[in-house]
Amino acid sequence: MRVLLVEDEPTLREQISTSLKEAGFVIDQADNGLDALHLGTHEAFDAIILDLGLPVMDGMTVLKNWRTDGLKTPVLILTARDSWHEKVSGIDAGADDYLSKPFHMQELLARLRALIRRASGNASSTLTCGTVMLDTTSGRVTVGSKSISLTSHELKVLSFLMHHQDQVISRTTLTEHIYAQDFDRDSNTIDVFIARLRKKIPENMIETVRGLGYRLHCAT
């Protein structure tokens, strides 16, 4: 899952970025509103963390612009301590959740996972597809009663497919959601990850849809 992190305070940005990466997220970063506006508009993200107090263009203006343009990506805003009016106007401007500074990193992670799940129509923190279960909190995957071991990229691909069950997902989309913008992207590697995943989960579960991409079969 790929997240855009917008925060102008370098230390905090670094802390959030490190925690998110450790939790398996792919991160792109912006330290001002204008860059954030551009990235959010032109790149594919599963969620956005947006500080409101930003140089060049404030976070509220960025958020309003995104929503006016029809961007549906879930946005979690970071507000100043005890600033209830920021939370109210942020939610009115189209934010999906908020967190007041200072906050616990674990709470940010939990809220982010919940936003991403809800955006894909999943309420529970455990995603199930046939005998395959993904605990989105721990990143643990089980097939039946057996725990399976995945590389971080395999997990990113499986997680995206589990969040978008029974939908045809193109290789381009998968590539966009498992690599950050500055990464040397190669959509051929997706085929490699899929081939490896097929050896670890029931073989017919991932269907190749010719010319279109892949579909994780979960509906019975």
Rounded to 10 degrees, what is the CA torsion of 189, 161, 48, 103?
-110
Q: Does 46 interact with Ca ion (rule: CB under 5 A)?
A: no
Write the interaction track for Ca ion spanning residues 1-40; mark x where CB under 5 A is met and - where it is not.
Answer: -------x--------------------------------
Q: Least Å distance between CB 27 and Ca ion?
A: 17
Closer of 8 and 43 to Ca ion (Cβ): 8
Give the CB-nearest residue to Ca ion.
53
Helices assigned H by DSSP within the chain:
10-22, 33-42, 59-68, 84-92, 105-119, 152-163, 171-178, 188-200
Scanning the structure block, which residue is given the tokens 């990464």? 183
Q: Does 139 interact with Ca ion (rule: CB under 5 A)?
A: no
- Choosing from 28, 46, 51, 86, the residue that interacts with Ca ion (CB under 5 A) is 51
Tokens of 167: 């939908």
Closer of 56 and 133 to Ca ion (Cβ): 56
Q: Least Å distance between CB 3 and Ca ion?
A: 18
For the chain, give the number of residues. 220
Closer of 11 and 220 to Ca ion (Cβ): 11
- What is the C-alpha to C-alpha distance for residues 145 and 153, in angstroms, rounded to an integer? 23
Handedness of CA 87, 90, 91, 96 (dihedral sign): negative
Q: Least Å distance between CB 55 and Ca ion?
A: 8
Q: SS3 for 86?
A: helix
Closer of 51 and 86 to Ca ion (Cβ): 51
Residues at the site binding Ca ion, with contacts judged by CB under 5 A: 8, 51, 53
